[in-house]
Structure 1
Amino acid sequence: METLHGNSDERRLVFVLVHGAWHHGGHWAATAEELRRRGHKVHAPTVTGHGPGAARNVTHTDGVASIVDYLDEHQLNEIVLVGHSFGGTIISKVAEQIPDRIRRLVYFNAFVLPDGGSVFDEIPRDMARMMRRSLVDGTVMLPFEMWRERFVNDADLAVATRTFRTLSPEPVAMLEDHLDLRQFYKLLDAGRLRSSYLYATDDNSLPPGEASGWHPRFSSRLGLCRLVQMPGSHEALLTRPGLLARKLVEAGRD
């Protein structure tokens, strides 16, 4: 494996960054730039059904297929596959299909669902009700107040407002679909998938605590995994891209 600048502690990695709900691949731009500056290769595809003008009548299976197709089209191997938030559900299913092409899975404040689970099963009921009240044409939108207070709580109002305008309605099926993850957990148990959990400690998008927050609730489902922590909100990819890039390397390296 090629090293960077003669530094044996940091080897050239191939990152594939999978975004969360309401986001698209472009939201990774600043973080991807930092990773490339450090010498790594970076891809940030958009999950089908996401981004401005995308068709929204899609399922979770469609979303997974769009990422597998991207990896095939670009002939990517030895991948550090990163999932942010909802993106964690995508990378778990992608890993079932191409386990031998993945160097490591990295869950960045991401959902690690149990077999048969859905995203809506894992979020507070009041949050799910609020989202469902916004249901229009099979999509749900995040209210600005929730975005500002829970998602970008480490940014000022101007940044919160500007970034909110870049979000798009989320196909509700992505959050409601219950996932068969038996193969994913078989691969984990067999040691065929290595994983890391990257936890931004100021994340308030889910209520903090062992039973309701991101860590250790989701990280513990990975079994033996590497835990990396950093300060920052759920949207550290927008508010702290330089630090996030460094921590992604810590999470993704051997």
Structure 2
Amino acid sequence: MTKKTTYVLVHGGWHGGWCYKRVAAPLRARGHEVYTPTLTGLGERSHLLAAGVNLSTHVADIVNLLRWEELTDVVLCGHSYAGMVITGVTGLVPERIRSVVYVDAYLPEEGQNMLDMVPEPFQKSFQASASKNGGLIMPPIPSEILGVNPRDRAWVDAQCTSQPYATFLECVAGRGAVERLGKRMYVYAAGWGETPFTAIYERLKSNPSWTLREAPCGHDVMVDMPELLVELLLEAAA
């Protein structure tokens, strides 16, 4: 009998817990416990979007989930921007985390914010997008730019909501705690060209304590290749 694992799957920028539907269902069918929280101000919680929502808010979202659902020995997964979130969470409650899975995600050093890790063209694009909206929010990036498969682009675009810009500006601590975990995996989406995550993946190649995997698809691995992500999450729990 397969040992039950608790998974907490955290979505990236502009997304919501909805994006993990195709991953959560098969994991639950195998008997695992799966949480797909939506961060404050996004998805079905988009009515809570406000200027004060920042990275600390989103870290607290997940820390509070772990606390009040009494979750321990968790496989904590973060996609894209959520690499910042799960790093902060691990820094605060490392005793609750079994392993972390970064899915085409930002992996900050101590005291870095997200904009520190993106190439200048991306920085300018994010800044311009926010400035058009009072410096507070960024409308969603079209899914085509993220390499989402053509069949699912309309669905992803309809589901995505604006991102609080402050979430990209706040620094985070926790990388040291991440490196002290027993198991760490990075999943690189290799099917959408040179991206902000290429450099992170290349740097990790020299660190034997990380398990590295590639997904031959666009940025939204949980949408494009959910079956592969399920298998990788099972591997991260082993």
Q: What's the TM-score once normalised by structure 2's chain length?
A: 0.88
Counterpart residue number, 2:145: 149
Task: Check if 1:216 corresponds to 2:202.
Answer: yes
CA contact (8 A) 1:204 1:234 kept: no
> Residues 205 and 248 from structure 1, CA distance in 2 versus in 1: closer, same or farther, beyond 3 angstroms?
farther
Counterpart residue number, 2:168: 175
SS in structure 1 at match of 2:146:
helix
The runs of 5 or more residues in structure 1 that have no matched partner are 5-10
- What CA distance in whole angstroms lies between the structure 2 residues aligned with 1:94 and 1:104? 12
Q: Percent identity?
A: 27
Which residue, out of 200, 203, 219, partners 2:189?
Answer: 200
Deviations 1:181-230 (A, max 9, x none): 2x541x355x3453111223214471675xx4x4123x359761222233
> Residues 249 and 192 from structure 1, CA distance in 2 versus in 1: closer, same or farther, beyond 3 angstroms?
closer
Counterpart residue number, 2:137: 139
Task: Check if 1:118 corresponds to 2:113.
Answer: yes
- What CA distance in whole angstroms lies between the structure 1 residues aligned with 2:70 and 2:39? 18
Give the CA deviation at 1:239: 1.9
Give the CA deviation at 1:54: 2.7
Kindly provide the amino acid, as one letter, of the partner of residue 21 in structure 1: G
Task: Check if 1:235 corresponds to 2:230.
Answer: no
Give the CA deviation at 1:143: 3.7
> Residues 86 and 222 from structure 1, CA distance in 2 versus in 1: closer, same or farther, beyond 3 angstroms?
farther
> Residues 230 and 25 from structure 1, CA distance in 2 versus in 1: closer, same or farther, beyond 3 angstroms?
same
Give the CA deviation at 1:83: 0.8
- What CA distance in whole angstroms lies between the structure 2 residues aligned with 1:188 and 1:87? 14
Which residue, out of 72, 97, 105, partners 2:67?
Answer: 72
Deviating beyond 3 angstroms after TM superposition, the runs of 4 or more aligned structure 1 residues are 219-223
CA contact (8 A) 1:107 1:198 kept: yes
The runs of 5 or more residues in structure 2 that have no matched partner are none
- What CA distance in whole angstroms lies between the structure 1 residues aligned with 2:197 and 2:231? 24
CA-based RMSD of the aligned residues comes to 2.2
Give the CA deviation at 1:67: 0.8
Give runs of aligned pairs for residues 1-40 of structure 1, distance below 5 A.
3-4=1-2, 11-40=3-32
Counterpart residue number, 1:226: 211
- What CA distance in whole angstroms lies between the structure 2 residues aligned with 1:27 and 1:208? 20
- What CA distance in whole angstroms lies between the structure 1 residues aligned with 2:197 and 2:59? 29
Kindly provide the amino acid, as one letter, of the partner of residue 156 in structure 2: T
> Residues 16 and 205 from structure 1, CA distance in 2 versus in 1: closer, same or farther, beyond 3 angstroms?
farther
> Residues 188 and 59 from structure 1, CA distance in 2 versus in 1: closer, same or farther, beyond 3 angstroms?
closer
CA contact (8 A) 1:236 1:244 kept: yes
Give the CA deviation at 1:12: 2.3
CA contact (8 A) 2:137 2:164 kept: yes
CA contact (8 A) 1:150 1:204 kept: no
Counterpart residue number, 2:158: 165
SS in structure 2 at match of 1:150:
coil
Deviations 1:97-118 (A, max 9, x none): 1111111111111111112211
Larger helix fraction of residues: 2
Worse overlay, 134-143 or 42-51: 134-143
> Residues 117 and 130 from structure 1, CA distance in 2 versus in 1: closer, same or farther, beyond 3 angstroms?
same
- What CA distance in whole angstroms lies between the structure 1 residues aligned with 2:197 and 2:74? 31
Q: What's the TM-score once normalised by structure 1's chain length?
A: 0.83
Worse overlay, 49-58 or 237-246: 49-58
